Amino acid sequence: MTSQPTAPPGPSDARPSEAADDERLTVMGLLAEAFGGLATRGAAQLAEHGMAPVEFEVLLRLTRSPLGLLRMTDLSAQTSLTTSGVTRVVDRLVDRGLVTRQACDTDRRTTYAVVTDAGRALLERALPDHLALIEQWLVGPLRAGDDLDTFVRLLRRVRDHVVPCATAGSGGPALPRPAD
């Protein structure tokens, strides 16, 4: 004789509560699912070039910054990493010859991460594949619907609200000169 499963204790109405049906949860869920899918595809593509996503992010941010350098604290502010996390990633990149550290000639407390020629070369090799992936899975569908400009504007607004330091140290007249 087989026993039938029993329903868990609780109300017999299986409909979600009003709070569980809130559209904000749907928006957040869609964002998380889209990001997760893109991140998984991106990580696999970057692994083909011998990079973890966080290493790619650090190399890209350094390469896109004036003089190819950022203060370690600014690099932490621009990424999702803690200062100790940035230190560990930069250590790995230094060991591979992709980044160097440089002291600031005007503030002994400041250390810069500086992308090397080898770091730029690795990034240049990875970028065509990475850009093709982004075009296929993110930008292309938005461009096809003529929604890309709106998406970028809204995404920037949310980013600036949630991560106001996301562009810290990436330009402007306040950028101190590193030691030569």
Report the pLDDT value the prediction gives residue 7, as an integer from 0 to 100.
62
Q: Which residue has the higher pLDDT, 4 or 158?
A: 158
Structure confidence by residue, pLDDT tens digits, 52-80 = 999 999 999 999 998 999 999 999 988 88
Q: What is the pLDDT of residue 165?
A: 82
**Domain-embedded: residue 138:** no
pLDDT of residue 9: 65
What are the C-alpha distances in Å from 145 to residues 6, 33, 106, 141?
48, 20, 50, 7
- What phi and psi, each to the nearest 5 degrees, are found at residue 68? 70, 30
Q: What percent of the chain has pLDDT over 70?
A: 86
Which residue range(s) make up the domain with 102? 33-126
In a domain, 19, yes or no: no
Which pTM was predicted? Answer: 0.79
Q: Tell whether 38 is covered by a domain.
A: yes
Give the count of domains, the chain.
1
Residue 2 lies in a domain: no
Tell me the per-residue pLDDT of 2-46, one tens digit each, with 9 for 90 and over. 666 666 666 556 677 888 889 999 999 999 999 999 999 999 999
Q: List the CATH number of the domain containing 53.
A: 1.10.10.10
Q: Tell me whether residue 57 is in a domain.
A: yes
| pLDDT score for 107 | 87
Query: Is 176 part of any domain?
Result: no
